[in-house]
Amino acid sequence: MSIKKAISQDISLDGVKPAVTKEQIVESISTIEKSAGFLIRIAELTVFEELYKRFKGGEVSIGEFTVLRAIGLNPNLRQGVLADALHIKWPSMTKMVNSLELRRLLKRVVPLHNRRSIELVLTPEGEAVVAEYAPEFKNAETEIFTTLDDEEYLQLENLLRKVAGWPHK
């Protein structure tokens, strides 16, 4: 149930005055939301829930799609570098890459000049999966950010880049 639905139901509960009024909730929100860190968490969950709807039951998870797309954009990206860039722990990345390799969506390549390292490339099947789900991802984004106009979207993007330590304007 959504917070909005919960609130509207609460304030009309059986005609009895509720313990928590809409005004109290909004007040609490105003207080809690002073923390941008908290808001990032809530926004992230909002994004996840929207993406989850579109990816569940599909061929790849949201995380797997993100990894595959990153590899598609950066063929021969080193596994550890990719893990660090996406904030995925190395053991988790190993497991994910194992699974994706078993499903023939990517290949591990060991370069001659440094046989400790592993580079990742998509198979044609992997590229097909990226192509298939990219529109879903895009549509989810459109849905998530409907409340922002173009300028606000770009502003948000740039501010988040700064927070994450990525290149920005």
Q: Which residues bind DNA (CB under 7 A)?
A: 1, 6, 9-10, 13-14, 49, 52, 56, 61-63, 78-81, 88-98, 108, 113-118
**Span from 28-36, 52-60, 97-105, 125-133 in contact with a copy of itself (CB under 8 A):** 28-36
Residue 127 Cα distances to 6, 73, 106, 121, angstroms = 42, 10, 9, 10
Does 108 participate in binding a copy of itself (rule CB under 8 A)? no
Give CA–CA dist 124/119, Å, rounded. Answer: 16
CB of 58 vs a copy of itself, minimal distance in Å: 17
Among a copy of itself, DNA, none, residue 32 binds (CB under 5-8 Å by kind) = a copy of itself
CB of 102 vs a copy of itself, minimal distance in Å: 24
Does 119 participate in binding a copy of itself (rule CB under 8 A)? yes
Look at phi and psi of residue 104 and say left if phi exceeds 0, alpha if psi is from -120 to 50, else beta.
left
The helix (H) or strand (E) run that includes residue 39 is helix 36-55
Give CA–CA dist 108/111, Å, rounded. Answer: 10
Edge-to-edge strand list for the sheet holding 77-78: 77-78, 119-122, 106-109
Site for a copy of itself in 2-21 (CB under 8 A): 2-4, 6-7, 10, 13-14, 16-17, 19-20
66 to 105: interface string for a copy of itself, x by CB under 8 A: x--xx--xx-xxx-xx--xxxx------------------
Judged by CB, which is closer to DNA: 97, or 140?
Answer: 97
Which are the contacts of 144, defined by CB distance < 8 A and separation ≥ 6?
46, 47, 50
- Two tokens, residue 20: 């928590």
CB of 88 vs a copy of itself, minimal distance in Å: 9
